[in-house]
Structure 1
Amino acid sequence: MGLIYTKDTKKYGRGVYSKSDIRAGQVIEISPVILFLKEESEYIKDTIISSYWFNWQANNFDSALALGYGSLFNHSYTPNAAFYNNYDSLEIIFYALSNIKANEEIVINYNGNSTDKSFLWFDVIN
């Protein structure tokens, strides 16, 4: 069984939570991706998928939809997890920035850098 599960956060809809304690630096999820060409991204911007995609700047691709739990992590400007794009394996790797307790929500910074507090397309609650 995996390290994580989803449930309603009571604030932002569905979120990703840890099943057990996770150590800082530990890989949480490896999500394969579906890639979108730059010209395809224009069509996606008007769909629900636009709320779930990741930037993917490689080989004429513009964005990616993470499969598995990857597109379900919520945003925080004080994240306990981070991610990086593995362009060779076509995956997004999510890992713990700090120790995460069992049943704690796992959150990432959607800007791609854990300290980046740049504006996002929605009102940030925390």
Structure 2
Amino acid sequence: MLYIANSHGKGRGVYTDNRIERDTVIEECPVLEIPHEEVELLELTMLNNYYFAWGKDQKQAALALGLGSIYNHSYTPNAIYRPRESEQVIEFVAIRKILANEEITINYNGSPNDQSPLWGSDEIPWLK
């Protein structure tokens, strides 16, 4: 049902080859939890653009396995992500109907309505 394809100006993105109805769980991704003291090291690598803030205080990090770290950002997303920390999983859920061959996007700020600038948005051309 899910596949990776080029997303104009964003690199790779996650797409669906089937229609997905609202409130459908798209994917449950196990995560690799990264302790707070290692996050700074992670920021020195290319993985800096692929991890989620994690933990009660959001000072840890989690790298989503499966397709979880490939979903692109949008300020008008069609999906959300829900951390399930006790299960070491991130769940991706449709917030509206997603059509076949449409890219699945999330708002990296967490809330689909959060229009705050993203970290490093000055460095990411497609966010300007």
TM-score greater than 0.5 by the shorter chain: yes
* Number of aligned positions between the proteins: 124
Q: State the alpha-carbon separation in 2 of the partners of residues 100 and 60 from structure 1.
A: 30
Question: What does residue range 76-91 of structure 1 map to in structure 2 within 5 Å?
Answer: 76-91=74-89
1:94 paired with 2:95, answer: no
TM-score by length of 1: 0.92
Name the amino acid aligned to 1:125. W
Question: What does residue range 37-116 of structure 1 map to in structure 2 within 5 Å?
Answer: 37-58=35-56, 62-116=60-114
In the TM superposition, structure 1's runs of 4+ consecutive aligned residues that sit over 2 Å from their partners are 58-61, 122-126
Q: State the alpha-carbon separation in 2 of the partners of residues 29 and 6 from structure 1.
A: 14
Q: State the alpha-carbon separation in 2 of the partners of residues 94 and 37 from structure 1.
A: 23
RMSD: 1.7
TM-score by length of 2: 0.91
Aligned to 2:8: 10
Q: State the alpha-carbon separation in 2 of the partners of residues 81 and 124 from structure 1.
A: 22
* Amino-acid identity (%): 41
Determine if contact 1:84/1:93 at 8 Å carries over to the other structure.
yes
More helix by share: 2
| SS of equivalent to 1:39 | helix
Task: Name structure 2 gaps, 5 residues minimum.
Answer: none
| SS of equivalent to 2:91 | strand
